[in-house]
Amino acid sequence: MAIDLIANLDKKITATRWRSLKLYNAYRLLIALLLLATQDLLNNVNWLQNAKADLFSILVLGYFAFSIISAIFTWFEKPNIDINLPIQIIIDIAFIVMLMHAQEDGQSGVGLLLIITIASASLISEGRLALFYAAIASIGILLEQSFRILFIDNSSSNYTPTALLGLGCFATAWLAYSLAKRTKQSELLASQRGLDVQNMAQINALITHEMHDGVLVVDQEFHIKHHNFQAEKLLGLESKNWQERPLAEVSADIANLMQQWLEDTETPHNFAPTNAAIPNILKINVLSRELRLRFLPISEDGNPKSRNQGAVIFIEDWSQMQTQAHQVKLAALGRLTANIAHEIRNPLSAISHANQLLQEEDTDPSTKRMLQIISDNVQRVDQIIKDVLELNRRDRTNQEVIHLESFILDFYTQFCAVEKIPATCFKLSLINAETLISFDRRHLNQILWNLCKNGWRHCKKTENSLELALTLADKTKTVQIDINDDGEGIHESVRSHLFEPFFTTEKSGTGLGLYIARELADANGAKLQYKALDSNNGSGSQFTIHLKKV
């Protein structure tokens, strides 16, 4: 990133130097035209044939030709600027010195052009060779003055104007060098700051992209300045760039809530930034999901009026947070109930053993009836304890690669034998594929046993009343197991509580079968879902297990 930025900066500086050199060539061409205009060359067409043509006019015409040639090479940016610029400046200085010498009165008015030439060259070259150009100009004007004194006019032996002009050239070169150096340092500092800002922007984008909460940055005009992927997901937006789009196009509800937040002036003026979001928690419902919004002003000066400068909106999935909190509570409750179950099992075993002894000794029918009730409830409590202990071991999975078709066929045979189900009432549908999954064999057997047992209990127990089907999902690496029954189905008001622990509609049920089945499926990376086969008549149920293939 830093290398690319430096390369781009060098290209930009080079392009700027070429533009400056083109501007200087335009200035030189203009000066040459002005010098031509001061000479009466246009009225004397045959001036080249005049042997007495003065030197100054010839030099002006040569300077004009040099200006045109330099402008052409500069326009096409040939050759390299580090070669082109020194050549032009040295020839420029030579022409100006010769024009000074060719002046009839010997005055150095043209010499002032040296100051502009040296200053321009120093700025274009960023201070490099600045003193070199000044030295060449000073040597040139000193030689010209010496030649004039020795061979033309012995009386004009005053070097003061020449020395002052030379000092002016050096002073201009030094000032231009200092200015160019400071400008270069400023450009380098600006490029470093730009790199820091760019890196910081990338870091902020990465942080907001990895956040579990959605983030919207909105300015005072209610236009979105930044958003992350999670915001699109929570708000159900299309995956596209929403930057500079009005907030109302994204969500009119959020825009209305932000307007209410802006109009709220009850927040204390001296609230801390860390607590600024506490009174600004609002909730909305989007896509059957409850979202919590937190509004933070972009400016953190503690003044409520700073809200008018814009806001950062944090979007949290409140329903997911409640689900996570519920899972934490259930985990703590599971550990507690597991400990209680261990403590209950010993006295329960003693009660069961004493009850069996009483059943063997007592022959009174009414007493036997009471003892049988005790025995049935002891077995029910023991089953609850087994389910609770099994639930507590849900994370202790021993996954292995399972050939699904063979496993389901073995399960089907065993289940029909143990539960004494006629083969005509239980339909098995398999696929001709070598489907391999990674799953805990004992957990998968328990899930299928619970689901099929529930289906057999509620079905009509006629031909094909219960069905176990294996299907492959199209274009995905998943396979699903469907358990269908033709029972009365589950009422719509009960479906939302279907997988809750200890929820049951039967007097003899524990309410843990479906809950344990779903927990065991989640522990192995599978999903268990319910679907009504006939939602209009409310008859028939389907439980589907979604599994990943190996």
Nearest to 90 by CA among 58, 126, 135, 56: 135
Contacts (Cβ under 8 Å, ≥6 apart) of 407: 441, 444
Rg of the chain over all Cα atoms, to the nearest angstrom:
47
In this structure, the number of other CB atoms found within 10 A of the CB of residue 320 comes to: 14
Identify the weakest region by mean pLDDT among 43-52, 157-166, 224-233, 315-324: 43-52
- 139-154 average pLDDT score: 79
Token digits for 445?
Answer: 């057997």
Banded pLDDT at 483 (limits 50, 70, 90) = very high
CA angle 63, 64, 69 (to 5 degrees): 95
pTM: 0.41
Token digits for 124?
Answer: 């274009």
CA distance 395 to 482: 24
Identify the weakest region by mean pLDDT among 164-168, 243-247, 437-441: 243-247
pLDDT in tens, 439-463: 988 888 888 988 998 889 888 889 8
Residue showing tokens 């995905």: 476
Q: Out of 2.60.40.420, 3.30.450.20, 3.90.79.10, 3.40.50.720, which CATH number does the structure's domain 212-318 have?
A: 3.30.450.20
Give the helix/strand (H/E) hosting 69.
helix 55-75
Contacts (Cβ under 8 Å, ≥6 apart) of 477: 548, 549
527: number of CA atoms within 13 Å, CB side?
A: 7
pLDDT at res. 52? 41
Cis-peptide, bond into residue 422, ω within 30° of zero:
no
The fold adopted by the segment(s) 324-392 is: Helix Hairpins (1.10.287)
Pick the residue with more confidence: 42 or 463? 463
CA distance 12 to 20: 12
CA distance 512 to 104: 117
Helix, strand, coil percentages in the chain from 3-state DSSP, rounded to 5: 60, 15, 25
- 334-353 average pLDDT score: 77
Query: Across the chain, what does the average pLDDT equal?
Result: 77
- Most confidently modeled range among 73-77, 159-163, 465-469, 530-534: 465-469
pLDDT in tens, 406-421: 999 999 988 888 888 8
pLDDT at res. 278? 39
Q: Are 450 and 409 spatial neighbours (Cβ–Cβ below 8 Å)?
A: no
Pick the residue with more confidence: 284 or 539? 539
Looking at the DSSP assignment, which residues form a beta bridge with residue 292? Answer: 283, 316
Fold agreement (212-318, 399-548): no
State yes or no: pLDDT of 545 exceeds 50: yes
Among the residues of 211-317, which ranges form H helices?
229-235, 247-250, 252-263
pLDDT at res. 377? 79
pLDDT in tens, 259-316: 888 877 554 433 333 334 334 455 666 655 677 888 888 776 556 566 777 888 888 8
Q: Where are the domains of the chain?
A: 2-191, 212-318, 324-392, 399-548
State yes or no: pLDDT of 359 exceeds 80: no
Give the helix/strand (H/E) hosting 517.
helix 513-523
Q: Give residue 16's region: left, alpha or beta (phi > 0; psi -120 to 50).
A: alpha
CA distance 404 to 401: 9
Q: Are 462 and 425 spatial neighbours (Cβ–Cβ below 8 Å)?
A: yes
Residue showing tokens 């399960």: 411
Among the residues of 308-364, which ranges form H helices?
318-361
Token digits for 91?
Answer: 């020839």
pLDDT at res. 287? 56
Class of domain 399-548: alpha beta
State yes or no: pLDDT of 529 exceeds 80: yes
CB-based burial, 422-441: b 16+ in 10 Å, e otherwise: eeebbebebeeeebebebbe
